[in-house]
Amino acid sequence: MIVATAVENQPMSAKAITTQDAPAPVGPYNQAVLAGEWLYCSGQIPLDPATGEMVGNGDVAAETHQVLKNLCAVLKEAGATPAQVVRTTVFLADLGDFATVNGIYAEVFGEGVSPARACVQVAALPKGARVEIDCVAWLGS
């Protein structure tokens, strides 16, 4: 049996994580928020952080590489690595791209304990992207 215990009035601290090595948010959100020992990374699409332009011209492999590069830049800024990611969500404009995205995803998250994950097809993604990925990482010891 699992027994939960209450934590007495410990205030939760939240810190915005921002890096120029990932695209700037296009709305009222942060690239990531560090809350206690948990890092919540917003979804990344294949934008070049230097230009703000889409990468890949519809090539899902090129897009996935850029998405993961952006996500890893946010993790790094927070002092985290892909090995600390415990949960991801992969959003695809076409589930037919699953095998391609999955192979590239495994290059980043395939070692050790891979994160829990959901993968869903969506009607559309921002700027016509074919893939978006968000994640949650644990920075505790």
d(CA 141, CA 137): 12
- Dump strand ranges (E) for the chain: 14-17, 32-35, 38-44, 85-92, 116-121, 131-138
Full domain range(s) for residue 63: 14-138
What does each of the 141 residues of the chain score in pLDDT, given as a tens digit?
555 555 555 667 899 999 999 999 988 999 999 999 999 999 999 999 999 999 999 999 999 999 999 999 999 999 999 999 999 999 999 999 999 999 999 999 988 899 999 999 999 999 999 999 999 999 997
d(CA 37, CA 46): 27
**Would you say residue 55 lies in a domain?**
yes
Query: What pLDDT, on the 0 to 100 scale, is given for residue 141?
Result: 76
**Would you say residue 1 lies in a domain?**
no
d(CA 76, CA 68): 12
**Would you say residue 4 lies in a domain?**
no
**Would you say residue 6 lies in a domain?**
no
Tokens of 12: 């939760």
Q: What is the pTM of this model?
A: 0.91
**Would you say residue 94 lies in a domain?**
yes
The three-class DSSP label of residue 49 is coil
Task: Determine whether 135 is an active site residue.
Answer: no
Domain of 109: which CATH number? 3.30.1330.40
29 Ramachandran zone, left/alpha/beta (phi>0; psi -120 to 50):
beta
**Would you say residue 92 lies in a domain?**
yes
Catalytic site residue from 41, 72, 119, 135: 119
Query: What pLDDT, on the 0 to 100 scale, is given for residue 111?
Result: 85
d(CA 70, CA 96): 23
**Would you say residue 40 lies in a domain?**
yes
d(CA 120, CA 75): 23
Q: Please count the structural domains in the chain.
A: 1
**Would you say residue 68 lies in a domain?**
yes
The three-class DSSP label of residue 70 is helix
